[in-house]
Structure 1
Amino acid sequence: MSDFGNIFRSAMDLYEAGQLAEAEQACRKMARAFPQAAEAMHLAGLVAMRQGNQAVAAERMGRAAIADANSAEIQHDHAQALKAVGKLRDAIGAFKRAIRLCPDAPALYCNIANTYRQLDELDAARENYQHALELAPDVAEIHANYAACLYALGDV
């Protein structure tokens, strides 16, 4: 395994074990040694998010999203971080990028719909919930969110 692979695996293990301070240190080490590695930036963002540092997470995820514009997971996590800091319009853009990369993921449509609901853009929310339900008709959470959207629209 490469040096990057070893450091990354170690950092990921620390993150998964909940040893966030140690994971943060490992991420800093990766950032110094491999400043363009999107995976390192992404993991650093996940660590910050779990530590409750949403602004730092959004910044790190943003760098990761630029470094690897072809990762739906990174785009999605960036969107979630943007939502956490109240940047809902920017989150919509990141969700759209994730959907373009992975158009068959119902969670992406549900998450963008939830964001549209927060913005009170209920028609866009309804459309995305419907798409999520086409992909995952048995997921209760999507049905519940869709019903809440319909209720807000006065359609129930």
Structure 2
Amino acid sequence: MAASCFYLWASPPGVISYPSQFRSWTHVKTQLIGAQSPFFAGSGGIHHVYANDKALEGLKTGHYSDGSILVFDLVEGREQAGVTVEGARIRVDVMLKNASQFPGSGGWGFERFMGSDLTKGTLDENGRQGCAGCHRNRSDRGFVFSELRP
């Protein structure tokens, strides 16, 4: 985990790199977004949320310190004989807390990696502002939608 955090922090200011070890972090939750959901068109599939140690502490306390990283891993959901299984990766969304780099969005920076491309984030400034605007709805919870299950 330390190596992937260093990789994130070693990036140029405002740039968020792919956190290659996120699947070894704490798995926070999984959701299946099916065809009945209004979110299906843009985010349908199986969502896994992961948190590094700092973000895990934030999920417990509601306060996220700099260095907190949350990852939203979206994969296809495929039905096989009545069982929903994971298909190909659709995208990985990353939230990185760094109050000095991202002061206009509650201290959070946002990036998206599509499919299996682990090197090039795809969000432009409008996309980042869209993420920040949506997450602003959760300012009472540190701008984070995910919660730990009791």
TM-score band w.r.t. shorter chain:
under 0.3
Larger Rg computed on CA atoms: 1
The structure richer in strand per residue is 2
The structure richer in helix per residue is 1
TM-score, scaled to structure 1? 0.25
TM-score, scaled to structure 2? 0.26
